Amino acid sequence: MTRLSRRRWLRTVALGGAALAVGPRPAPAADVPEWASLVAAAKKEGKVVVNTFPGDGYGRALKPFAQAFPEIKLEHTSLHSQDFAPRILQERKAGSFTWDLSIIPSSTSLQVLRPAGVWDPIRPLIVQPEARDDAGWEGGFERGFSLVKDNALTYGFLALRGGGLTINTDMVRDEPKAFTDLLDPKWRGKLLLPDVRVMGDTFWPMTSARLNLGDDIIRRLFVDQEPALSRDTRQVAEFMVRGRYPMALGVNPQLLRQFQKQGLGKNLKLVRFPEIDTVNYGTTLWLVNRAPHPNAVKVFVNWLLTKDAQTHWAREVETNSRRVGVEPGNPEFVVPRGARLFQVDAEENLPHVVKTQEIARAVIK
């Protein structure tokens, strides 16, 4: 196979985008005429609008797209799913269509936005040979469609081990050895927890905990232990960095890394427990129904799924791609080989997640 130099690749993009990324192509580019026409149509649309999670790394991860396709302006919003969902629903009721694509968890996507008809299948958009190369993905290309029973609706390009308990080693001398150690009366009023009723940062691990320890674990932890509850992921990370609480669940690793790069939060340690050990293929691609820039979003999706783009994404967002040969951006969250962990974001497990939320709403007043 032929390896394209970066200069030649950029020249190809400028002439119509026959190639997407530096590196060998897995198959002959039989789709070149179609792809060139698609890129030309995308340039006429002039932009694509994409939503991601909050975090500075996402903006950096998207910069190479603007460099590869300068005529397609990439408008980027970084709304957490709990903020994105009501906003897009409100806009659609008013007949306004802003976004083309969103990268958010499957829980909100399936529970709130799919019933409202927000999504279109994303499978038809993925056309480039490199993006579809089965050998290029851990578990194969099709593995990315397995989150949802409708195996065309969304695509998962990451594989992440779930988080655990973050402890402040200056404040916690006797490190918890089991998840149930958090129920010790000495921790009453001292735990910081994302609100399990609405935040995936805790309703995902607490679903695993509930299945392992029984339904009452929700009341025992979130009521009897009188924790501080937050609905702000940045607040959770900042409170831990500032030493406001000795322990917290659901500390966002990307936000924590931002603080640690400033020399803060070096005394924070992640502790895992088998009762809440999970895996998710989060950061899934969701195509918005009636996307205002259908050609530009197709170009964007195919670009994002190349090895070159995934390498940049993993590094800047500090996360772990399913692309073969891409170095983990966050080794602490690599899924152990051969591990059989509870897949919290699969549609088949959604009823368990919903029950966790329902129990939490019933017991937390």
For residue 360, the one-letter residue type is: A
**Band of the pLDDT at 9, cuts 50, 70, 90?**
very low
Predicted local confidence at residue 11, as pLDDT: 36
Percentage of the chain with pLDDT > 70? 90
Mean pLDDT of 94-101: 96
**Cβ-count burial 283-300 (b if 16+ within 10 Å, e if not):** bbbbbbeebbbbbbbbbb
Give the model confidence (pLDDT) of 230-254 as tens digits.
Answer: 999 899 999 999 999 999 999 988 8
For the chain, domain boundaries: 6-160+281-334, 163-276+346-363
Give the pLDDT mean for 45-57: 93
Per-residue pLDDT tens over the stretch 148-172: 988 899 999 998 898 899 999 999 9
How deeply is 113 buried, as exposed, middle or buried, from its count of CB atoms within 10 A (0-12, 13-18, 19+)?
Answer: buried
Q: Pick the residue with more confidence: 192 or 148? A: 192
Confidence of residue 33 (pLDDT cuts 50, 70, 90): low
Tell me the CATH number for domain 6-160+281-334. Answer: 3.40.190.10
CATH number of this structure's domain 163-276+346-363, picked from the four choices 3.40.190.170, 3.40.50.20, 3.40.309.10, 3.40.190.10? 3.40.190.10
Handedness of CA 220, 225, 231, 237 (dihedral sign): negative
| Backbone phi, psi, residue 167, to 5° | -120, 150
Q: What is the pTM of this model?
A: 0.79
